[in-house]
Structure 1
């Protein structure tokens, strides 16, 4: 009885202490809750924790991605944090008690000047007392995980004569957000994995005079810096597939559109056998193995086999033609190219000394080798299996994943070195924003020599297990449409040129499985977007990327993931940077960062930035500076963070001292014509009087140059932007690359030959 009394007294005391802590020390309660979360469902990674001052007034400025952000922010401060929350958010019924309990400061509507003045006075008073405040300048929780527009700077909040430390914080997530608010309702977003991965990157103090746009840019940059290096539990592409194949041996990740299917176990056995055969080849000192194959399951197993052999696949761009493709491969030091006689015959190429044919490799595989590979995969534990298959590359994400050759639209193709970290960073960002589910399926229509094809249609399936259906020829519009219908494809990626051909062949019911369609590589024409919307009810989502950036940089997502694919914001924009990717625009002459809506050179900072150009240190230095990649594109960023491409720096003509953008002239002519397909291409050539003059190449017979010139004048375009009627040149077809982009080099050659 004595011990029962003592136990009861202890429990009563614990309850009293708990209640006192709960009511008198809310920030202690938050720390306890965060501790429990971090040991159950949340994995929190903090970078720069020492940047939070232990004394003196502090104003934390952070992005807002979930309802538990307040807990995360409080966990990094040794002192209580007072949060400033928008009135609209405070009125959300399910969370009213939480906000009352935390003693948040209400941010009133801007249309109530007296209430706003009281808010400023209260905030300044808290800072004069040496308190810690936290502001979410977006005014609410991000609807798609990216940064929204910052509504204001912080200068009005700061008391005069008081030194306040303004600390930027970026909250990032790898997989899911648990809870968010959409249209006044609490929404649960199921996390992809548990624990949910959060990271907080705490920056150095910034000037309180920074504008809202500059603050947003700084927090965006913190996001990129947080994901530059390897992330928790990150593994290379081929390792991710091996680990998944061991867990799900009978699942199918890669299909052929003709109906052939290969289970994960079979794919892993194939790749393991190929890796041994590749190790036996003399590939020289380069470490690269050329791969020359169309999209198919054999190509997928070949790519994995090269990676398991601790070599790097170099994917040959066969659309460039034999001479260009083989010359680029030899320049990269590639002494072995794996291909097939059947495919070579379809290309019409002659066999080259570097070529090793898969038909011969297949004949050399014995039954004993197949049995040994299968038994090893069945019996060895997952991580031990990876160490046996790829001892050098199996757990090193900094190793090179692939060598891709740039499109060469403006000159000789460059060999781009991309690491597993580059590819992972990009595909994880993509994975986060597309609201992925296990029901998703992708059509593998873009060749793997195309960076988008490699990342989204090979690496992403290897990592996520998303079934992917390979179509051998991206120009086979009927085949792509048939694959969408038969395999219930939900995600389609294509260039506008390819997509135009697909919808010509498709009936509305054949495209019904689609939920998300993303285009890139060239400008999306409004006429094409309108036709696709009428056919399917879906919005084409425009994106931007390049080989050197792994390749996806931005996607024009709507403000909420719950409307993804059916609504796009800011028409004409390429969207906002994906999470963990920072974009800035700088003055072409001075290199200084520009403000909102000021056009300049577009630069990108992130873990997606390539390792460099192979054997070309000078060109690498030209484009990689201070952690940024210079894209060569002229762009502007609006106040909301949406990026608009004005044109390539190489797609301008300097006429009479003024820079004239070729793409805007093309768009103006397309608008006049009202056609969906690309009919004209603008370039420049030398002119003795004005430095350069515009040349317009066109294909339709019914295009009247004089009428177009008159219509351009009617649109009140600047005179220097209007080409002369005699500079319109009729040609049979516009020069295009295999990716569907204009061949700018060929275009310029045609103009110079006039």
Structure 2
């Protein structure tokens, strides 16, 4: 009977099993084996019973033995228990100690959200008490079957199919045990967190398949709905994945006549569908897009082109006219060749379009690019110095997409509203490529600064996810109607610290949480993020799967350390303007973030400040970020930036630049007194400005703030 069932599963579901060597390694340990897996459909138990070696005993909630499940269980060994009974696991413990191979779904139920549900600590307690070795299994594909619970009647909905391809991935065996000094609630909490992280990480390791970005787009069109709309913009220029692939082949072929032999090509375009077609057109023909920051000005853009050895920049006359960038483009034209998309489109005739349709997706050179080849060049914002080129590989970006997917589940029909510019890594990876390459939809908006329009647009397109900075989210909240964000599942904030006042504002006005995350351009960019299943206010969440970290002590700073990270999402390397075109990789794969952080016992990360954003006053190290924090609490409506200038007596002194006219040296002293901070954390000078400078990415422009402070003391 089992042989026939296995044959039918292989025939209809094309079941593939990966990593069986990990199971056999566990068998070699001669310890009891406890299988665990994510629970996505009614097929999960039979799949494990049929395709994982050995005779498996399942622990099943007695209330779930009904209907089809009751019939399927006749083919398996199982222990029926009352999952609400604290003693439910004793039967499984007995079976494991008797040498049986046992299996538990740690979520205790089939997912109704498409993502990992609540993970119970009972599984970890069983493993610890029996000394069993845990063999994790990840089930992928069954969530799209007719036997999943994602039919819209319980919670989430996906387009279900009778026979989707199913992949079982067996991950390396793990031991789960708590430190000996923990007991009671602390022990349960520790084991629950450890098991949750294991289940979460399994999703990344099982799904991550390095390939080129163009090949991943083709895969997404085949695996998800290739003909459904996946891209829309303010001009209502809608595209499906199939149409995007064809447009990329046609436009790429036309551009190739102009840029053949060039490694990197500049892209100077806003968030519109044409940008995406241009990005993938370059990918299709093996060129690396160098994303230029059009808010930076002519000087930085020319410098960026020289640093990356860019010979040609692709832009649009309509965009140049709309943004009044004529002078900037004229300056750029002195160092690079400018190609306007309008001119390229005029050269594309009907025959070219037909050939683009007929040409195989796998016939373009970019399809076979190596995963470790460079995929994009971004430029650091220059918030603390001269911009550098950051080279990210195809593998870097795809790894980060899967790392994010393991943290935040996005269903194929859901929409990400992206107003963050794609010259910023947050806007490119999370805002654009994540939804496009994972089967969802992306709505592109050209500027994050349209505070009144963006909430209305999010309402109109039924946005499910939005990314932004604290500055942007504060602006949206001031203008938005309480219903504008009714469909939002998650706001995700990054790039700068999320103020508690902003988080509270969204809870009060919209009844929605903001999940704070953290990343840097050099890590593609996400490094950590809070998620519904695991979050802690005041932190940026736990590190994403696959990231190693270390903290190096910083003289004068007692708490935390300087964060170094390593992982598949860490860049290929830098391009410096004093040595154009030469890639400088991170030593031994470790990247110095330059951030001072602390990590608690559960792995939650708290950002204490930039290493460069500390002042040394009378021999003491003072965090400029910490000073801003208590001032923000006193004046949540204002925008405040604290910098330091030389002081002949104390080494340095603090200067506050603010747009809040109610602040003065006296009110700052009062705020410091209420916050209970030391006297050395009180700015000696307050400078009132009409607007505190910000970058196009939403971060405070500290070099410009520094200049304001220096001009004040120089009398200019």
- Counterparts in 2 of 1:712 and 1:325: CA distance versus 1, 3 Å: same
Once residues 576 and 146 of structure 1 are traced to their aligned partners in structure 2, the CA distance between those partners, rounded to angstroms, is 17
Counterpart for residue 702 of structure 1:
662
Cα-to-partner distance string for 1:656-688 (whole Å, 9 max, x where unaligned): 666543333322222223x245x2223344556
Counterpart for residue 695 of structure 2:
737
Counterpart for residue 278 of structure 1:
255
- Secondary structure of the corresponding residue to residue 650 of structure 1: coil
Structure 1 residue 243 displacement after superposition: 7.6
Counterpart for residue 362 of structure 2:
387
Counterpart selection for 1:331 from 307, 318, 321: 307
Once residues 337 and 106 of structure 1 are traced to their aligned partners in structure 2, the CA distance between those partners, rounded to angstroms, is 65
Question: Relative to structure 2, which stretch is displaced further, 71-80 or 425-434?
Answer: 71-80
Counterpart for residue 290 of structure 1:
266
Question: Relative to structure 2, which stretch is displaced further, 195-204 or 294-303?
Answer: 195-204
CA RMSD of aligned residues (A): 4.7
Counterpart for residue 8 of structure 1:
none
Structure 1 residue 470 displacement after superposition: 3.1
Once residues 699 and 125 of structure 1 are traced to their aligned partners in structure 2, the CA distance between those partners, rounded to angstroms, is 68
Once residues 657 and 170 of structure 1 are traced to their aligned partners in structure 2, the CA distance between those partners, rounded to angstroms, is 54
Higher relative contact order (CA 8 A, sep 6+): 1
Structure 1 residue 439 displacement after superposition: 4.6
Counterpart selection for 1:716 from 676, 685, 689: 676
Question: Relative to structure 2, which stretch is displaced further, 536-545 or 429-438?
Answer: 429-438
Counterpart for residue 586 of structure 1:
550
Based on CA coordinates, which of the two structures has the bigger radius of gyration? 1
Counterpart selection for 2:532 from 558, 563, 568: 558
- Secondary structure of the corresponding residue to residue 393 of structure 1: helix
Contact 2:227/2:242 (CA < 8 Å) preserved in 1?
A: yes
Cα-to-partner distance string for 1:249-308 (whole Å, 9 max, x where unaligned): 8754433414455676765554334322322235665x1111111222222222222122
Contact 1:176/1:191 (CA < 8 Å) preserved in 2?
A: no
- Secondary structure of the corresponding residue to residue 543 of structure 1: strand
Counterpart for residue 353 of structure 1:
334
Counterpart for residue 169 of structure 1:
136
- Counterparts in 2 of 1:190 and 1:341: CA distance versus 1, 3 Å: closer
- Counterparts in 2 of 1:612 and 1:79: CA distance versus 1, 3 Å: same
- Counterparts in 2 of 1:131 and 1:156: CA distance versus 1, 3 Å: closer
**Aligned length, in residue pairs:** 676
Counterpart selection for 2:571 from 606, 610, 615: 610
Counterpart selection for 2:353 from 355, 367, 374: 374
Cα-to-partner distance string for 1:442-478 (whole Å, 9 max, x where unaligned): 4342211111222244324543564444333322334
TM-score for both structures, normalised by structure 1 = 0.74
- Note if 1:201 corresponds to 2:171: yes
Question: Relative to structure 2, which stretch is displaced further, 634-643 or 438-447?
Answer: 634-643
Structure 1 residue 739 displacement after superposition: 0.4
Contact 1:407/1:737 (CA < 8 Å) preserved in 2?
A: yes
Gaps of 5+ in 2: 183-189
Cα-to-partner distance string for 1:578-628 (whole Å, 9 max, x where unaligned): 5xx2455533149xxxxxxx9445555554333332468896325833xxx
Counterpart for residue 585 of structure 2:
620
Structure 1 residue 432 displacement after superposition: 6.2
Contact 1:269/1:370 (CA < 8 Å) preserved in 2?
A: no
TM-score for both structures, normalised by structure 2 = 0.78
- Counterparts in 2 of 1:90 and 1:636: CA distance versus 1, 3 Å: farther
Once residues 93 and 52 of structure 2 are traced to their aligned partners in structure 1, the CA distance between those partners, rounded to angstroms, is 18
Structure 1 residue 489 displacement after superposition: 3.6
Counterpart selection for 1:56 from 27, 30, 40: 30
Once residues 222 and 264 of structure 1 are traced to their aligned partners in structure 2, the CA distance between those partners, rounded to angstroms, is 28
- Secondary structure of the corresponding residue to residue 52 of structure 1: helix
Question: Relative to structure 2, which stretch is displaced further, 132-141 or 501-510?
Answer: 132-141
- Secondary structure of the corresponding residue to residue 681 of structure 2: coil
Question: Relative to structure 2, which stretch is displaced further, 319-328 or 207-216?
Answer: 207-216
Contact 2:516/2:540 (CA < 8 Å) preserved in 1?
A: yes
Once residues 432 and 495 of structure 2 are traced to their aligned partners in structure 1, the CA distance between those partners, rounded to angstroms, is 18
- Secondary structure of the corresponding residue to residue 169 of structure 1: strand
- Counterparts in 2 of 1:634 and 1:76: CA distance versus 1, 3 Å: farther
Counterpart for residue 116 of structure 2:
145
Once residues 251 and 135 of structure 1 are traced to their aligned partners in structure 2, the CA distance between those partners, rounded to angstroms, is 37
Counterpart for residue 562 of structure 1:
none
Counterpart selection for 2:19 from 46, 57, 69: 46
Once residues 50 and 327 of structure 1 are traced to their aligned partners in structure 2, the CA distance between those partners, rounded to angstroms, is 55
Once residues 207 and 710 of structure 2 are traced to their aligned partners in structure 1, the CA distance between those partners, rounded to angstroms, is 43
Once residues 469 and 325 of structure 1 are traced to their aligned partners in structure 2, the CA distance between those partners, rounded to angstroms, is 27
Gaps of 5+ in 1: 1-17, 19-28, 560-567, 591-597
Contact 2:431/2:467 (CA < 8 Å) preserved in 1?
A: no
